[in-house]
Amino acid sequence: MSEEVTVFIDFEFSMPEGRGHKGFFPEIIEVGLLAVHRGKQEQFSSYVRPRVFKRLTRRCKNFLNISQQQVDKGIPLHMLVEKLKQYNDAGHCKVVTWGNMDMKVLKHNCQVAKLPFPFSGEFVDLSMEYKRFFGDRNQTGLWKAVQEYGKDGTGRHHKALDDAMTTYHIYQLVEKDKKYLNRSESTTIGDRVDFSALREFLAQ
């Protein structure tokens, strides 16, 4: 039985200046991840150089608080793909993201660059898990979700590694609540009734 590797990933993407930018598609410009394997944690964070739309728009730089110089010093896409594949090959890989855009953009970027998609395991959209678990009508934003738990997000929102760490913390909270509910639902009548107190009452 292969060991499980759980990878919590967040990507930040390039964005157009406005609507109607002909031919534009989002490219990964920053990656942050936390890999949990054999009880140990490993973090990885890097900027990623876009291949097609190499100059960041003003809107993108302002929204993500990122500079062209930072991205220019990042790793190329093929190195990112190779890094992700290492986690995939380390065991049964479960990839956890907040929302489905991260994997969609990664797949499209790989297709455009003619690179193999690095993951072959299980994918978990934690935002949908959160939505189903709490019965929310609409999907909740990452940092709003962690605040609803009475917690604070890690670091700065829209910083890839900080968002990946926040996703990990929400995952732990949801899994803890799931276990609590499962344990509560599986209790027997003996778990809920104090029979020693009942016997004492009947003996009176």
182-204, pLDDT tens digit by residue? 665 544 444 544 545 545 545 55
Q: State residue 204's pLDDT score.
A: 55
Write the single-letter amino acid at 60.
C
Q: State residue 31's pLDDT score.
A: 98
Q: State residue 62's pLDDT score.
A: 96
**Measured distance CA(128)–CA(140) in Å, rounded:** 9
Catalytic residue among 42, 158, 175, 185: 158
Catalytic residue among 12, 21, 37, 108: 12
158 is catalytic: yes
112: left (phi over 0), alpha (psi -120 to 50) or beta: alpha
Among 64, 69, 48, 45, smallest CA distance to 157 is for: 64
Q: State residue 198's pLDDT score.
A: 46
**CATH architecture for residues 4-184:** 2-Layer Sandwich (3.30)
Whole-Å CA distances, 73 to 46, 56, 76, 173? 9, 13, 9, 36
Neighbours of 11 (CB within 10 A): 24
Q: Would you kindly state where each structural domain of the chain is located, as residue ranges? A: 4-184
Contact 197, 203 (CB under 8 A): no
Write the single-letter amino acid at 179.
K
**Measured distance CA(71)–CA(53) in Å, rounded:** 12
Q: State residue 22's pLDDT score.
A: 80
**Structure tokens, 133:** 């678990």
Q: Which residues of the chain have pLDDT under 70?
A: 1-2, 20, 137, 182-204
12 is catalytic: yes
Note the pTM of the prediction, 2 decimals. Answer: 0.84
**Measured distance CA(147)–CA(142) in Å, rounded:** 9
